[in-house]
Amino acid sequence: MSEPSARALAPGLTHAKSVTVTADLTPAHLRGDPIRVLATPEMIRLVEQTAIECVAPHLAPGQTTVGTRVDIAHLAATPEGMTVTVTVELTDVDRRRLGFRVAVRDELDEVARGTHERFVVDAAQRLPRLQEKVARWKAR
């Protein structure tokens, strides 16, 4: 597997993404409540998307990243209709392991903070391993 470019993927790289909280980003089991809020799993999905977007332009052709760790405290509720901004900063590059600092804010408050880790993978190497695992599972 080729290594990602050390110069391109360096600590300090940042990316931000803003999203308006819509009904589909709220917990299904609470959608009958008078005020619906951003669901934690949806916030984590937004963090992962933002980290992917941060590094994607700096990867070699055929490479992508997969999430391997999330450690994020969800500190405040964001009601439907408000905008959240997710900001990630690449803080650590150790060969193929990428570490990020994460901050999430809405229009009034700090919503979340923590860390996220991703791993650079080559699609050509990943697919055969997944196919082999599916074959083992189906053969049980």
Beta bridge partners of 97: 94, 119
Residue 1's pLDDT band (boundaries 50, 70, 90)? very low
- Residue-wise pLDDT tens digits, 109-128: 999 999 999 999 998 888 88
- Residue-wise pLDDT tens digits, 17-27: 999 999 999 98
Domain boundaries, the chain: 14-138
* DSSP H/E element including 124: helix 123-138
Q: For this structure, is 40 an active site residue?
A: yes
Average per-residue pLDDT in the chain?
93
How far is it, in rounded angstroms, from Cα 25 to Cα 105?
Answer: 16
Work out whether strand 83-94 and strand 14-20 pair parallel, antiparallel, or are unpaired: antiparallel
How much is the average pLDDT of 85-105?
97
Q: Is 62 helix (H, G, I), strand (E, B) or coil?
A: coil
Tell me the pTM.
Answer: 0.89
* DSSP H/E element including 121: strand 110-122
Examine the pLDDT at 4 and tell me if it is beyond 80: no
14-138, what's its fold?
Thiol Ester Dehydrase; Chain A (3.10.129)
**Catalytic residue from among 64, 74, 85, 115:** 74
**Catalytic residue from among 14, 20, 40, 68:** 40
**Catalytic residue from among 15, 26, 48, 65:** 48
Q: What is the DSSP letter of 57?
A: G
